Amino acid sequence: MKPLSIIICALVIVSCGKPKTAAAPEEKAEATKSAQEEHEKDEAKGEAGTVQITTEAQQRNGIVVTPAATTPMTQQLQATGTVQAVDSSIAHIRPLTRGRLQDVLAKLGDRVTANQALAQLDNIEAGDMMTQYNTAQSELQRLKIQLAAQQRQVERNRRLAEIGAVPQKEYEFSLAEQQGQQEGIRAQETTIAGLTARLRRFGITDPSGSEAPMTAIRAPFAGVIIRVAAAPGDVVEAGTELFSVADLSTVYVQAQVYEKDLGQIRVGQTASISIDSYPGEHFTGHVASVSDLIDPQTRTAAVRCQVANPGARLKLDMLATVEFPTSMKHAALSVPTDAVQDIEGKPTVFVRTSPSQFSVRTVETGSSSNGRTEIVHGVKEGEPVVSKGAFAVKSVLLGKELQEEKE
């Protein structure tokens, strides 16, 4: 029994050892393949903060490199401002008469078109005028009936006077009565015409109707509702302001400029406006007015810049940074303005470090003038910066980051 037990144990040991010997080369091959794939991925990603673009791809995308250089830059006067509506483009909408607001159809911030109804007014005064109109019409009919009878009486008296049956003065008296009635009819027709014209201003074209007169309060032009002081059920008097509508196709950017700097501002001067909501974008305006009043607390004066606002991108009360070019210049390190790209809200340039590699640099920018932007920090003089095709490099960078996120 003992030799048999030894043989069985030996067979078990041999059978357990065989799979381990076969698996070792397979595991080693898989580990080598995985390491090779990781190495290939690292090579495709490139170094952190760099972009790889072949020279052929650079030529296709028109990528041009220019050294950062010290150039004379126009000194800019910078001020903080806010977006305001142009005074002459604001309509304060008031009813022409006393009435009760039946319905309010517009709310604060709504964009409205010209002649759009903003509210419906139960026109109390128009109701009174419609009553007067109907009464005047009835009186006119009565006068016309009386005139017809008087005309017959005048004709009868004329015939009798001709044959001597009645005195001549009786005929003349009846004729005078007829003329008086004709004048009364003309006066009544004038009254009716006046009432009709007044009712037409309220939008009522059928004064003889029995329904309650409703007047639509309408927008005089296309714009934005910037103030609402109306609610259904309110009884309002004539001249009460219900809505304010502003045409925002052109706006003011009102900057506060210190009195020591006012000598550098003149009406008609160009201004560059930047808004935090649109990083890297500049709006061009012109100085429309310089206030004659100095704020005694801040020692500043209001300078209004008129700016075109297509699409109403500039919203009222937005904060803005306004730059006014001055006659003074200073030497500063600068790059072409197109070289500066906005990436995650930060100004960025691309510096060539090898024929096919670009370094991503976050920079601090200063003023911009004549197509160049001052670089305060981030780039040294002489470093080759992408001046044309920077957007194409930015697209490659963002595509690379997206691919890394997926992996």
* Any domain includes 274: yes
What is the pLDDT, as a whole number, of residue 10? 42
Among 206, 223, 244, which residue terminates a domain? 244
What is the pLDDT, as a whole number, of residue 401? 56
pLDDT means per 10 residues, the chain with 407 residues, are: 44 42 46 46 51 90 92 86 94 90 93 94 78 85 89 87 83 88 90 84 71 82 94 91 95 95 92 87 92 94 95 93 85 90 88 93 84 89 92 86 52
The amino acid that residue 82 corresponds to is T
Q: Both 296 and 238 in a single domain?
A: no
Q: How far apart are CA 150 and CA 175, in angstroms?
A: 8
What is the pLDDT, as a whole number, of residue 39? 40
Q: What's the angle, vertex CA 20, arms to CA 17 and CA 23, rounded to 5? A: 155
Tokens encoding 113:
């078109």
> How far lies 177's CA from each of 147, 151, 170, in Å?
9, 9, 11
* Any domain includes 24: no
Nearest one of 272, 309, 310 to 84, comparing CA atoms = 309
**Phi, psi values for residue 37, rounded to 5°:** -65, -40
Q: Both 275 and 159 in a single domain?
A: no
Q: Both 268 and 192 in a single domain?
A: no
Rg value, the chain, Cα: 44
> How far lies 108's CA from each of 15, 136, 225, 246, 297, in Å?
86, 43, 5, 11, 33
Count of domains observed in the chain: 2
Q: Both 222 and 277 in a single domain?
A: no
Q: Both 240 and 252 in a single domain?
A: no
What is the pLDDT, as a whole number, of residue 90? 95
Nearest one of 188, 185, 199, 232 to 128, comparing CA atoms = 199
Nearest one of 93, 63, 39, 32 to 341, comparing CA atoms = 63
Among 225, 244, 263, which residue terminates a domain? 244
What is the pLDDT, as a whole number, of residue 259? 93
Q: How far apart are CA 220 and CA 202, in angstroms?
A: 15
User: CB–CB of 73/330 below 8 Å?
Assistant: yes
Residues 59-69: tens digit of each pLDDT: 998 999 999 99
**Phi, psi values for residue 31, rounded to 5°:** -65, -40
Q: Both 162 and 187 in a single domain?
A: yes
Nearest one of 243, 205, 197 to 92, comparing CA atoms = 243
Q: Both 73 and 132 in a single domain?
A: no
| pTM as predicted | 0.58
Q: Which residues of 235-259 are buried (b: 16+ CB within 10 A; e: fewer)?
A: ebeeeeebbbbbbbebbbbbbbbee
Distance of CA 252 to the CA centre of its chain: 13
Q: The domain containing residue 66 runs over which residues?
A: 52-85+248-406
* Any domain includes 6: no
User: CB–CB of 53/358 below 8 Å?
Assistant: yes
CATH number of the domain encompassing residue 59: 2.40.30.170
* Any domain includes 34: no
Q: Which residues of 155-172 are buried (b: 16+ CB within 10 A; e: fewer)?
A: eebeeebeeeebeeeebe
* Any domain includes 33: no
User: CB–CB of 352/403 below 8 Å?
Assistant: no
Contact residues for 66 (Cβ-Cβ < 8 A; gap 6+) = 335, 336, 339, 384, 385, 387
Q: Both 110 and 220 in a single domain?
A: yes
User: Residue with structure tokens 């305060």?
Assistant: 376
Among 244, 268, 296, which residue terminates a domain? 244
